[in-house]
Amino acid sequence: MLKIITDAKEYIFSFNGKLSASSVKDILNLTVNGTEYLLTKDDLTFKSTDILSEFPTIFLGNFSLVDGTVFSVDDSVKIQNLYADWEGRTLNRNTVSYKVPQDRSDQSAGVPAYNPLFLAMVNKVCRDKGFDLNSFGSFTTKRENLFIQQYTAFHPSIQGFVAKKYLDNNKGFRAQITCKMFEQLVANACSHIEGYRDSLRHKKFAEINGIKPDFEEIKFLIEYDHVLDANISDESINFQDGSSDGGMLELFNLPVY
């Protein structure tokens, strides 16, 4: 729980323990002077000005509410630390349940995007990669989260690993995979997003300067309606040594997990 006094009002933040959520804000409760404040998607947006030098994953800036409330930089750091504590507790485990997809539209496949662990892992990886904080507990768009869910659920490397380990690849089958494996999948998906974002910035720069974009002929995975519409079989993920290579992954500077 976090209590903040600003503009003569008492704001109390706490987590409600929901096991299913479309965003971290769905798991957050906020009261103002003892009255529940219903958070919307436009609440607790964040405007960054810098990073905290001692902790480069903490941003300096301001959270705000749609009613016009703007939290100070110091209070905004406290709100980020409140989130970081939740994230640490959520990721304090060794394994996670992975569900073999029933079909290409199965949004409960893999580790579903409504699982709090999915949200926490995506945010951890994005923060480590230096993504900008958009709002409370969010570094990515809804479309990007859908891509991450598809990539981590349908990638042939994870499906092959599950089939080999459990000798059973039945549709809907559930298996336990390590959180480190899931983090590697999320990191690869976020590398695709990072590359796509960079290409958009480069394209805009090229248009302004009247030059030909370097990535003009490349179609990024996130541009497909579904990852299965692209050829990702050339991407190889080794969960034993934590390495990844092949396909479009060759464009990115990937860490070893």
User: In whole angstroms, what is the distance from residue 198 CA to residue 204 CA?
Assistant: 10
| 124, two tokens | 């951890």
User: In whole angstroms, what is the distance from residue 154 CA to residue 227 CA?
Assistant: 8
Q: Which residue has the tokens 């300096």?
A: 60
Q: Tell me the pTM.
A: 0.89
Helix, strand, coil % in the chain, rounded to nearest 5: 40, 20, 40
| pLDDT the model gives residue 143 | 94
| pLDDT the model gives residue 168 | 54
| pLDDT the model gives residue 255 | 55
Which of the residues in the chain have pLDDT under 70?
53, 165-172, 206-207, 209-210, 212-216, 250-257
| 114, two tokens | 């409504």
C-alpha neighbours within 13 Å on the C-beta side of residue 217: 1
| pLDDT the model gives residue 36 | 96
User: In whole angstroms, what is the distance from residue 144 CA to residue 81 CA?
Assistant: 24
| pLDDT the model gives residue 240 | 86
- First-to-last C-alpha distance (Å) of the chain: 33
| pLDDT the model gives residue 257 | 47
Q: Quick check: 98 and 112 in contact, CB under 8 A?
A: no
84: number of Cβ within 10 Å:
17
